[in-house]
Amino acid sequence: MPKSKTSKSKPVVIVAGVVLAATLLGLASYATTKPSSPSASSGASGSGGAVAEVSADPADGVYPELEAYARRDAADKLAMGRADAPVVLIEYADFKCGFCGKFARDTEPALVKKYVDAGTLRIEWRNFPIFGEESEAAARASWAAGQQGRFWEFHKAAYAPGSKEKGFGKERLTALAKEAGVADLARFARDADGSAARAAVSKDQEQGYSIGATSTPSFLINGRPIAGAQPMEAFTQAIEAAAKAAAKKSAAEKPAAEKPAAEQGKQ
């Protein structure tokens, strides 16, 4: 596996089955697995029945330097939700990862309905292909679909039950793009094989490596790392804790003139 480049943040290792809270950075990682080689064809890391523990303290297990990884770019075609949403969930995933598909089908739609649609959450995708050439090709294809505003439709088609088993060869990727409603398939093919797609995927990969991600899916929720396709409650707890912390921070930063008179009197 390629080594990560120097990053502005200290390494935060999300390692299979290791509880880093007690040993490295106070961060809990969960019972997950990682591929034995980049060409592995099975799924990547998953929950393994483990439930991520989220402290009642919204700041516990949160690393401000990792919160800065959120791009919050309103023009980001591989993101959904308000750019100024109080909480940003960053997902590092591979289209050949079975547990990534489980998250995409079982958990993500519920998070969108409960938090994205309400304006609380923004989801930012990072292509993190770790299963070889087909993973790389699928990542570039997803980016190409995004250039025509159809990333999330491609994402849904690529993670549909049984899709991974059909592989991600060139003809299959074109079929997925067509299913996703990509209008210009000729442009899609050019974009998917172009230097801009390769650069975008490489940028996402390097970000994943820089935080120590070694398996998929891996997540950051306002600087709180979560590893694996955890149960819904792990994400809701982390999102609500992050929203609470964001609200508290916003209130603290509000100019005194904007605060209620009763609140000013307490200062």
Instruction: Give the sheet arrangement for strand 87-93, strand by strand.
Output: 79-80, 121-127, 87-93, 218-221, 224-227
Tokens of 4: 């990560």
Among 71, 58, 63, 84, residue whose Cα is nearest residue 248: 58
Q: Identify the band that residue 255 occupies on the pLDDT scale cut at 50, 70 and 90.
A: confident
| pLDDT at position 102 | 96
Alpha-carbon separation of residue 236 from 12, 216, 261 (angstroms): 22, 19, 34
| pLDDT at position 180 | 98
Q: Identify the band that residue 49 occupies on the pLDDT scale cut at 50, 70 and 90.
A: very low
Among 33, 216, 251, residue whose Cα is nearest residue 139: 216
Note the pLDDT tens digit of each residue in 193-249: 999 999 999 999 999 999 899 899 999 999 999 999 999 999 999 999 999 999 999
